[in-house]
Structure 1
Amino acid sequence: MAVPSIDASVSGGCLHVLVKGELIYEHQALLREQFDELLQHGDACIVVDLTQVGFCDSSGLNVLLDLRLQAEQNGRQLLLACVPDPLRRLLEITGSDQVLRIYDTVAEADAACVP
């Protein structure tokens, strides 16, 4: 089980977040804590790069959906980039792809960010 970690950097008005590891039930409290810290930044857009996510279960999906809701409540945008195929299928099966903004690359997510 790969414990998730989050690396964040700011670039051009966007907070870039690289998520590594597994987004699973056992790690949801840690993920929520890490994402709560990120929400303290004042950037208009949060681009979450999921390239290095090995697995995501329904708890991990709920963390992403909650993050989107919290971002929007604070007048910010959440954009997902580089979503691995298994996670993309989970988003499609659950209909979450209808509420989460998904981009193939970080550059495409950056371009879609409207401050």
Structure 2
Amino acid sequence: MTEPEHQLTVTPRHTPAGPFVLEVEGELDHHTARLLTRAVEEAPFDGHGVIIDLSGLAYCDSTGITVLLTAYQRSQETGSPLSFAGVNPDQMRVFQVVGLDQVFTFHATTQEALSALQR
């Protein structure tokens, strides 16, 4: 029996509007969390803000949630706005169970998050 394949891609991109976007696709777990951790460390948490697009996220375990909390802590330390976009209902339920729906800022799409940060 072969071990299941764990794949995650994180695509960083600057937007013309200013906010920095990290597009996350795949499984965010203890096998792949280092990829998002590195991207969060390298992201320019500045006045324009950071959006983490989770619309391509298929799975997130507690290690993944820890990485998202680290991004939130970095945003608080730097005064940079942080938004999460495209969270599917199953993932949102997990955030609600652990109380992060009261901490994180969520938007249905990256475009909505961009619009909110431009206000």
Whether TM-score is above 0.5 comes out as yes
SS at match of 1:112: helix
2:81 aligned with 1:77: yes
2:74 aligned with 1:96: no
Who is 1:53 aligned against? Answer: 57
Who is 1:21 aligned against? Answer: 26
Gaps of 5+ in 1: none
Distance across 1 between alignment mates of 2:11 and 2:35: 14
Return the letter of the residue paired with 2:110.
Answer: V
Aligned length: 114
2:37 aligned with 1:32: yes
RMSD of aligned C-alpha atoms? 1.7
Which stretches of structure 1, 4 residues or longer, exceed 4 Å deviation after superposition? none
How does 1:60-71 map onto structure 2 within 5 Å? 60-71=64-75
Distance across 1 between alignment mates of 2:91 and 2:28: 10
**What per-residue deviation string (whole Å, max 9, x for no partner) do you get for residues 55-100 of structure 1?**
0011101110110111221121110000012211110111011111
Structure (1 or 2) with the larger CA radius of gyration: 2
Distance across 1 between alignment mates of 2:12 and 2:88: 19
- TM-score (ref. length: structure 2): 0.86
Return the letter of the residue paired with 1:62.
Answer: T
Distance across 1 between alignment mates of 2:35 and 2:111: 28
> As a proportion of its length, which structure holds more strand?
1
CA contact (8 A) 2:12 2:39 kept: no
Instruction: Quote the sequence identity (%).
Output: 26
Distance 1:29 1:8, change over 3 A: closer
Gaps of 5+ in 2: none
Question: Which of 10-19 and 40-49 deviates more?
Answer: 40-49
